[in-house]
Structure 1
Amino acid sequence: MEAVLLAFILMLSVFLGFELIAKVPATLHTPLMSGANAISGITVVGAIIAAGADLGPWSTWLGALAVFFATVNVVGGYMVTDRMLSMFKKKDSDTRGDS
Structure 2
Amino acid sequence: MDAFAVITITVLAVFLGFEVVSKVSSTLHTPLMSEANAIHGIILLGAIMVAEQATEPLPLLLSVLAVLLATINIVGGFVVTDRMLVMFAAKPGRPARKESAK
Per the normalisation by structure 1, the TM-score is: 0.72
Question: For residues 64 and 4 of structure 1, what CA distance do their matches in structure 2 show?
Answer: 23
Distance 2:8 2:54 in 1: 30
Distance of aligned partners of 1:52 and 1:76 in 2 relative to their CA distance in 1, 3 Å threshold: same
Q: Is the 8 A contact 1:37 1:76 kept in 2?
A: no
What is aligned with 1:87?
87
For residues 5-44 of structure 1, the C-alpha deviation after alignment (integer angstroms, 9 at most, x for no partner) is 4444334333433332333223223431x12331111111
Give the aligned length: 95
Please, which moves more after superposition, 78-87 or 21-30? 21-30
Unaligned runs of 5+ in 2: 97-102
Judged with a 3 Å threshold, the aligned counterparts in structure 2 of structure 1 residues 19 and 94 are, in CA distance, closer, same or farther, namely closer
Letter of the 2:75 partner, please give it: V
Give percent identity, aligned residues only.
46
Matches within 5 A, 1:1-99: 2-32=2-32, 34-39=33-38, 40-93=40-93, 95=95
Q: Name structure 1 gaps, 5 residues minimum.
A: none
SS at match of 2:88: coil
Runs of 4+ in 1 over 6 A off after TM superposition: none
